[in-house]
Amino acid sequence: MSTAMTETALDLALAQNATLGEGLQWQGGRWWWTDIEAATLYAWRPGSEGPQFCRLPDRLGSFAHCRSGRVLLGLAKRLAVATLGEDLALSQLQTLAPVDAAEPRTRINDGRTDRSGNFVFGTLNEAKERRAIASFYQYSMQHGLRRLALPAVAIANSICFSLDGRTMYFCDTLSQRIQQCDYDADTAQVDRLRLFTQMDRDDAWPDGSVIDAEGCLWNAQWGAGRVVRYDPAGRPMGVFTAAAAHTTCPAIGGAGGDELMLTTARSELSREALAAQPLSGSLFGLRLPKALGVADTLFED
């Protein structure tokens, strides 16, 4: 990345103390995200004082909104569907499928719907040794759970899809590379695995990503306190910084589709680092020069 590239500072949008804020998305006039370690789903309508929230029976790695109005939840070891009130009160929770039931070291991590409305997600290895034993999956009501034929990873992240749905982006965070592959939503087949981009800093670990209306990829980089926008060829176009080292997941939405928002985390920060970065765990954002938001496809439930 050229040292001449300008950096734009993100503003504080909502002060929070999320241990591990993740999974940010814009849906129904609200920003939605999970604090994974707090096992809590949040929704915040801009202009309101604070977010509504739903405590869940297990950690929530990722989620998707359903065509029926329900919410698909990637809980630690299972997929479930929840019926929530407008205030996020939980009235029903139905398990759909166990995930990695025979492997106690993994839990569900990053995920989102593909352009056809299937839920695509990955797992991570929680053990200290962080061996590459985690996987990527596709889930649909029609076909159930299907493992994608991608290499095993330690920490699955950066899952998103090109505008035509035929390219999947993903990473093993520990590799410090984002990869891409051909993707067929109907058959859950992947092909032509190839490099998309490599982190340019030793302290930058790729976390959540999203594709914008111009086909560019925005990636939050844990440890580096920034979001980087890459063009479709994987070349960096812009850097957006936050007052928190552990940036986790970007999203583009808002009423006009022109707001960049970002979740952050307090996890794995020392007492000294937290004192220096007291806003860690908050939401940061800014208004973009033009509308770049692309709505996530609703899950076909």
3 state SS of 20: strand
Q: Is residue 294 part of a domain?
A: no
pLDDT for 62-90, tens place per residue?
999 999 999 999 999 999 999 999 999 99
Q: Which domain holds residue 165?
A: 7-287
Q: Is residue 88 part of a domain?
A: yes
* Cα–Cα distance, 92 to 89 (Å, whole number): 9
How far is CA 112 from each of CA 16, 17, 109, 267, rounded to the nearest angstrom? 23, 24, 10, 22
Q: What are phi and psi of 36, to 5 degrees?
A: -55, -50
Residue 21 CB-density burial (10 A; 0-12 exposed, 13-18 middle, 19+ buried): buried
What is the average per-residue pLDDT within 164-191? 98
Q: Is the pLDDT reported for residue 171 higher than 60?
A: yes
| pLDDT score at 5 | 74
Q: Is the pLDDT reported for residue 209 higher than 60?
A: yes
Q: Is residue 71 part of a domain?
A: yes
Q: Is residue 221 part of a domain?
A: yes
Q: Is residue 298 part of a domain?
A: no
Q: What CATH number should be reported for the domain holding residue 283?
A: 2.120.10.30
Structure tokens that stand for 261 in this block: 């928002």
| pLDDT score at 8 | 97
| pLDDT score at 3 | 46
pLDDT for 7-31, tens place per residue?
999 999 999 999 999 999 999 999 9
What is the average per-residue pLDDT within 143-148? 98
Q: Is the pLDDT reported for residue 1 higher than 60?
A: no
Average pLDDT of the chain, as a whole number? 97
Q: Is residue 228 part of a domain?
A: yes
Q: Is residue 99 part of a domain?
A: yes
Residue 271 CB-density burial (10 A; 0-12 exposed, 13-18 middle, 19+ buried): exposed
pLDDT for 284-300, tens place per residue?
999 999 999 999 999 99
| pLDDT score at 4 | 55
What is the number of structural domains in the chain? 1
Q: Is the pLDDT reported for residue 2 higher than 50?
A: no
3 state SS of 208: strand
Q: Is residue 80 part of a domain?
A: yes
- Global pTM exceeds 0.85: yes
